[in-house]
Structure 1
Amino acid sequence: MRQSPVKEKMIFKGVCTAAPVPAPAPAPPVVWTPVSQPPAELPRHWKEQLPSFQQDWIRKALFRANTNTGKLELMPNPVFWWYPPQPPNVFTQPPASPDVFFCRPLFLWMPLKMWSIPLVCVQPACNNHRLTAAGLYRTVRKVLDIDGWYDMATEYLECKGCKKKYPAWSDDILAQLDMGHRRKFPAILTYRYSCDHRVVIMMRERTQGNSVTQLYRKLQEEHSAAWTRCTLEYLTACEPFADSSMTEPPVFSAPPPLPALPKPKWLLSVYARDVLSRLPEVKAKITSVFGSVLKMDSTKKVTKKLAGAAANTAGWCTNVGNEHGQILVSVLTAAEGHGLRPMAAGLVRRYREAGVAPPAILYVDRDCCTPHAQGQSLVRATFAEWDELQVHLDIWHFMRRFAAAVITEAHQLYGIFMARLSRCIFELDPEDVTALRLAKQGELRARGAGPVSEKALDKLISKKELALHCRKRTRGVEETARRIKSLIDEMDSEKGRDTLGVPLLDHERIQQIWIDQQRHIACIQDPEGFPLYMKTGSLKKGGVELCCYRCARGSTSLESFHLHLNRFIPGTSASDAHFQAYLLEGLMRWNQDRMEHAVTGKHELRTYDSAEREAMDRLSRKVLKKSLDECFQRPGVYTGKNNSC
């Protein structure tokens, strides 16, 4: 419950304000217009920090001289945003200066005075002693916005117990505000400059080429365009008087120079500060992901971007994903497959502490099984606590091992060989194929085409339609081995030569590969009784209702993720701190996109701030008795117990 307004006056070097009053109803942003009032002067420290063209309108808009005491006081009922007066549409006299054309807004942050929210001292000895108003903070911050700058001022708060003072924009004060009030504060503060949240958001999306250098150039263009517009407006107002036939034409002042932008390195530090401020939330979202079908794979391309002291300290990035394409764990190791026991222990602990059933299947690209004489495989031993976990070899990697025996992938028969190898392993569900054929026949009848043969009909069905509407299943160990052996024998004979007589396969190599890979045929078979396909929706084609499926088999989704993972870190190099900031932010956004795509297929609300979404969900359920964000899932709490991410 909010307390009554604080009664102490706000003192600032002879500047006082009236006692706080209850916060008024929300009002639109204020554009200051001149009014008749006693003259007032700006606080001395503000005068030293504000540029000359800002001082006059801020002095008249925010302050007034008390008629009784003559002391400077703040206008009653202050608001957050104050906008300078606009230049007149028509000038009857030459503009005295260009100042009115280049004024910028002011943001006034006064949570205690405006809302009367009880704020307390964070010192342990004070035992949550209430803070009171202590005037205006002497520092005025300059904040970088998308197309310009604005100034920001705040109030000073004091603890009467320990005499400690806090500016109202400090983290100690902002952390005490609820989400609805805190999000009204627009900027991230650094030592010299400050940065608006809208600029930081532009750095969060991790796509190819989205670097701080590119953002710096975009800001340069936006700022230059805004400055040019103001200069044109000023010069246009001056032009009629410059052409007049007066004996002494007026002398016009040059416009103020374009303010310099902070360098890209500063933008990068602001981005890292933003990620660090949300670090517990980001880690909690990453470590709140689970799955019943896991995939583990490694890549080394992204580790080449580590620079500085961290360069050459990691050789592989190992990732564990689930059936929806989300990433549960991402760790850097010196070598592939080694040093993963702490990661596995953290993953097992995560499932156990969350009370989630262990995964049933784990797809890998190596170490799936070993000869019986050698005991357990490395992967099985790493996840030994999950007794019922089935480790399977990814079929795409299994097929690529046979491709190593091909003399050249440019061979005329290479595509045919790989397609037939796939058919040796998979068969289509006959019911799904029948339904798709009926749908295709219905489409042909709707276009007025006559009946066609089944073979011609199959040629009209695209690979995309087969993948979307038809489920696949493996053929079993014996049938798969027989078909692959028959294919190898055929392609390793005269039938495996092109028109120039060049063979497709190297005889000795393919025979050795077949000997080595026979034991893996059991590893690529689908698990008994476990559904690998999820129904995501349905489509009506040719009058037939067709189901749409998503497959959880294999680690192909991780191969796609690795392409995007390399884009999470823009440019060609990053220090260890910036590398982790980019990686954490990228993983969190990737997981949320995959989750919402799995739930609804498409979601219009594109926001990744779980604190904001949680607050909105709680308030909407309380006020409206329903949720406005059906896709929101509250993340767990990050425990920090070896949950590698």
Structure 2
Amino acid sequence: MEKKFSFFPGKISVVFRKGPRGYLRQDPSDAAKLLKDNSSLQDKSAPLKEDTVKQNALTVIRQRGGDVSDRTEVLGEYILQFGKYKGKSFRWLLENYVGYTVYLLKHREKEEAAGVCTTEGHKKASLLSFVDYARSFEEIISLLRFQSEKPTSQAASEDNQLVGFGTRAKSTWQELGLMLVVPHQQRDQQLKHLRPQTPDVVSTGVGRPRVIVGTNGQYYIFSSRLRCRTCQRVWFADSPRWLDKLPKRFANMVPAFLTYKKAICKSVLHELRRTGKSPTDMAKQVNELMHLKYEQAHLSYLHSIQNIWDAEAGAYGQKTLSHLVRKDVMPQSFGSYDDADGWCGVSVSAHYLTDCLIDEYQRQQSAITLLMQGTFGQVLRSDHTRKVARKVTLSSGTMSSYAVMNENWMISSWVMVQSEAEKSLEPMYQGLAKRYSDAGVEKANYHWVDRDCCAAFRIPDLHHGEHLNWDAWKTTDSIIAEATAGTLENTCASRTQYNANIVLDLFHCMRRFTRECTSEHHPLFSTFCQLLSAAFSVVDQGDLQKLKDAYQFCGIQPPTPNKTAHPRAL
């Protein structure tokens, strides 16, 4: 037998991975999977030039005794300069991952058809060389031809064609017709199969950023882009409909109140409720804050430019060389507040704050109702005061403030009134009574008031600006006669909403006695008040002992060293 002589004993050919039927396997090999899934094993170095790659390939072929004149063999030793398999030879990629090779070839065909190329520099040269190398194999060309000529499944008739539009776009006309004629039970069963039975939600990246306006400025929230593998629907994680499906303990963790187009930080709503400002005033405050942030950033930008100019002029002891490499002398404009390519500032309207506040209340109504139950009580105490009203501008017409407290000294309601008439308090008591009814709590049985406890008396309606007239505050015989004669208009407002026992408050009862005194500077006025208090009140010995123990624990001896103690106080 004659022995065949080979001039190039080191010549290596590509060995494709094939399946049992002889077709090329397009799945990655174990070595390709390991390199694909582990980024630490991938080559992160800078790409090499085409000439350097060629010289390295020729050196490898000469060392193993290959044919340097065979262009295909030389290209097989080229090293990839792009992708996850950077650092591997062209031949290695064909032998280990034909599917990735086909993907690169198809992607290059699309770029050639469009006349563009997404890669540049040395990566582009390496990609073009690999495409040329892969197209030199008949196996790859046959695989591409087979995939391009693969017959598509067409509908056998018009009934089997897809609808192509609407909610039943993926259903055939035959299925749509059956849904119209089958009985209701079968139709419901068929509709049930069209819905996803086992939803499989996965994240497909990061969605659009949301700018959030808060009391300290603005910030951004990035939400995931979710997709259901079963029904193929796509939505964003910050969608209000999606957030409503989450448990309350998770939904409350979101720091902002999100709507479909805008978003507002919850700190703005908290500040709006805490300060009691109107939505218009709060919107002005937030917008002024946002513009202040813009002005501060603009000022910092101008200072940075001035520092660069000073450094170039040698103001800091040594001139810089930045002016030699800069083409334009004038710096770029910072832009306006609402510039889309610059600061892109946002504005908040009063209508949007109102909608957010109402929507937030509707969402938290059940929790607020439970929270407000802590301010309920069976004994109410109300009082008028002008100390707070004096701080309000007189042009508002406010005469006094009115507070209602329970037996635990917690304020149940507080309003500002412009008239001393009790009918001005009826809306407040209506709301307070509705709060009891909505919560299912029994209404108060006793109500301590500062006036109108026994007989009603009449106070005419306040004329505009009358409270500014000093004579309107004087009490004369004619005013008393007018208030106690004729049709009595002023009755206690709580009588219409509560079946409570209206009782005069103890302190206001004693006040009726003390204000009839001639002068508060009389030498016996203090003694009279002490005896009056002792006549109305009874000292609880248990509370008194606790008070003494507290004084002794704190080291207060005696409790009031500069005053004479009341004989019944100790």
Q: Which has the higher contact order (CA 8 A, sep 6+)?
A: 1
Q: TM-score, normalised by structure 1?
A: 0.37
Give the greater-gyration-radius structure (CA): 2
More helix by share: 2
More strand by share: 1
